[in-house]
Amino acid sequence: MAAFLYRMGRLAFRRRWTVALVWAAVLTAVGLAGMTAPEAEEEPFSMPGIESQEAFDLMEERFPGAAADGATARVVFVSPNGEKVTATENKEAVEAAIAELGDGTQVASTVDPYESGAVSEDGSTAYTTVTYKVDAAGLTDASRSHLDESLEHARDSGLTVEAGGDAMQDMGGPSGTAEAIGVSVAAVVLLITFGSLAAAGLPLLTALIGVGISLFAITALAGPLGLADTTSTVAIMLGLAVGIDYALFIVSRYREERAKGRTAQEAVALATGTAGSAVVFAGLTVVIALAGLSVVGIPMLTEMGLGAAGAVVVGVLIALTLVPALLGFWPNAILTRKDRKARRAGGAPPETRKVNGGTRWASFVLRRPLPVLLAAVAGLGALALPMTDLQLGMPGDEAMSTETTQRRAYDALAEGFGPGFNGPLTVVVDARDADDPKAAAETVSGRIGDTEGVVSVSPAQFNESGDTAVFSVVPTTAPTGQETKDLVNTIRGDRPGIESEAGATFEVTGTTAMNIDVSEKVQAALVPYLLVVVGLAVILLLVVFRSILVPLKAAAGFLLSVLAALGAVVVVFQQGHGADLLGVETTGPIMSLMPIFLVGIVFGLAMDYEVFLVSRMREAYVHGERPAQAVTSGFQHSARVVVAAALIMIAVFSGFIGDSDAMIKMIGFGLASAVLLDAFVVRMAIVPAVLALLGERAWWLPKWLDRILPRVDVEGEALTRPAGPEAEPAEKDLART
Q: pLDDT at position 44, please?
A: 57
* Phi, psi of 487, rounded to the nearest 5 degrees: -65, -45
Q: How many CB atoms lie under 10 A from the CB of residue 283? A: 25
Q: pLDDT at position 69, please?
A: 58
Give the H or E element holding residue 78.
Answer: strand 72-78
Distances (CA, A) of 618 to 68, 558, 735: 59, 20, 23
d(CA 295, CA 410): 36
Q: pLDDT at position 688, please?
A: 92
Which positions ≥6 away from 194 have C-beta within 8 Å? Answer: 200, 251, 252, 255, 334, 336
The answer to whether 159 and 79 are in contact (CB under 8 A) is yes
Which positions ≥6 away from 270 have C-beta within 8 Å? Answer: 6, 9, 253, 257, 262, 716, 719
Torsion of the alpha carbons at 400, 405, 408 and 413, rounded to the nearest 10: -110
Q: pLDDT at position 480, please?
A: 78
**DSSP of 379-446:** HHHHHHGGGGG--EE---GGGS-TTSHHHHHHHHHHHHH-GGGGS-EEEEEE-TT-SSHHHHHHHHHH
Q: How many CB atoms lie under 10 A from the CB of residue 257? A: 21
- Mean pLDDT for each 10-residue chunk of the chain (737 residues)? 87 94 94 79 67 86 66 87 88 91 85 84 88 78 88 90 80 56 77 78 90 89 70 81 86 86 89 87 84 80 86 94 93 74 59 69 91 94 89 71 81 86 88 89 91 87 88 87 89 92 90 85 81 81 86 86 90 81 71 80 76 83 85 86 83 76 77 88 91 89 86 65 41 40
